[in-house]
Amino acid sequence: MVILAQFVIGLVLGLGLVIAGMSNPAKVLNFLDLAAIPTGGWDASLAFVLGGAVVVTFIGYRLVLRRDRPIFDSRFHLPTSTAIDTRILVGPAIFGIGWGLAGFCPGPALTALTTGGPPAWLFLAAMFAGMAGARWLAAREPAPSPVPHRS
């Protein structure tokens, strides 16, 4: 039952990404190209997709966390650390650079496998290599040190 629920959730996400055009890297790159605003070439549609996702997530968390436990698990698995460490800063920076260069992020890249051609396959190969490299580095280094928080 859990696998079926995960499949349906993934299918709904994938369909939403395709319908919104987010599996098209040109659409994403047109959103990230802020220099195109004066010429009218900027595509703001991704802002609406992101905004919709934030609203749904905000409401969803409020409803789900009222429960004692999740439907398909014995407890919630929420982060316990509030420390801002090097990984928290470098990881999203690498993600953003990759997103800006390729126009893909992981979800849309997976949906683009059927229509995106070689760029989608190349992006996913690079993504999996990066994930493997990150795990390898994490296994080699001691626990990350927190960045001092300024008040």
Count how many domains the chain has: 1
Task: Give CA–CA dist 91/98, Å, rounded.
Answer: 11
* Model confidence at 144: pLDDT above 60: no
Number of CB atoms found within 10 A of residue 50's CB: 12
Residue 59 forms part of a structural domain: yes
Q: Which residue has the higher pLDDT, 1 or 147?
A: 1
Q: Write down the pLDDT at residue 104.
A: 87
pLDDT digits (tens, 9 = 90+) for 62-103: 999 999 999 888 999 988 888 888 888 988 898 888 888 888
Q: What is the pLDDT of residue 74?
A: 92
Residue with structure tokens 């040109």?
26
Give the pLDDT confidence score for residue 148 in this predicted structure: 65
The verdict on residue 69 lying in a domain is yes
The answer to the question of residue 146 being in a domain is no
Is 21 part of any domain? yes
Determine, yes or no, domain membership for 43: yes
Look at residue 131 and tell me if it is in a domain.
yes
Instruction: With CA atoms as reference, report the closest residue to 110 among 13, 3, 4, 9.
Output: 13
- Is 0.85 topped by the overall pTM? no
Can you give the residue range of the structural domain that contains 34? 2-140
